[in-house]
Amino acid sequence: MEVRRLSFYETLARHYDEIFPLKEPQETFLRNFLQQHGVQSVLDVGCATGNHTLAMASWGLQCVGLDLSPAMIEIARRKLAPDMLGQTSNSVVRSERTSQGGQANFLVGNMLQLDQLPDTYDALVCLGNTLVHMTEESSLREVLLQFRHKAKNLLVQIVNYDRVLDQEEWRLPEIRTRNLEFYRRYSWRPDGLLEFTAEIKLAHNGHVVADSTLLRPLRRDDLSNLLTYAGWTVGPSFGSWGGVPWSPKSPATIMSAV
């Protein structure tokens, strides 16, 4: 079986919406959170192909989606303006205003460089396990400080690493669609980091594209303490988009802060 690594992130971007579709519980949870805090503007850090950003814009909010992957941002921009492809990676593509007055912009950018964005926001959301890609504690602290400077409210979602570490769940559930099979696994390292390997097997030709990256497995208390250090007041923690309170066996850690 042929394993190719160079095209992994391009392949992931192309199939991202198929692997991780935006589902109703996520939309409901996010909308309730934003309404509860009277949010009118949002920075979506790690926006991937932009589905959360676009949903929030459709609710009448002013939104900016930021992601490090040019391939992801290109797809997000394509959803806005098919005639604007080929723009440079640091350009901003603006959507037409919705009937509710919302707007979405997309940028390629690093969450360690949020100080380069001129605006502040009512809320910042960082979803999809984005935060744990900051493997150095100093970088993680800096990111959360920048979050504090950029927004009044915060919503973070990561995998529940209490569950992963305590129960040694080194494999995440497989995802199978008509076009692919998606596999994910962790490997423990002596330095306390996890090596995260993802593989996509394409149905039409059997090819596998794969890549590995390092993650910092944040327990819930670790995340809470880091947020407090950065000046946030931590709110409730949830274990799923259904709004169930967090427990050590929850699939996710979802934490809000002001």
Task: Select from 3.40.50.2300, 3.40.50.150, 3.20.20.370, 3.30.565.10 the CATH code of 16-159+218-257.
Answer: 3.40.50.150
Does 6 score more than 80 pLDDT? no
DSSP 134-178: --SHHHHHHHHHHHHHHEEEEEEEEE-HHHHHHHT--BPPPEE-S
Chain segment 91-126, per-residue pLDDT in tens: 333 444 444 679 999 999 999 999 999 999 999 999
Confidence (pTM): 0.89
Chain segment 136-194, per-residue pLDDT in tens: 999 999 999 999 999 999 999 999 999 999 999 999 999 999 999 999 999 999 999 99
How many angstroms separate the CA atoms of 152 and 167, rounded? 35
Does 218 score more than 70 pLDDT? yes
What residues does each domain of the chain span? 16-159+218-257, 164-215
Q: What is the mean pLDDT of the chain?
A: 90
How many angstroms separate the CA atoms of 155 and 227, rounded? 11
CA separation (Å) from 144 to 55, 75, 119, 254? 24, 27, 17, 15
Q: Which residues have a Cβ under 8 Å from the Cβ of 134 and sit 6 or more positions away?
A: 111, 112, 140, 143, 216
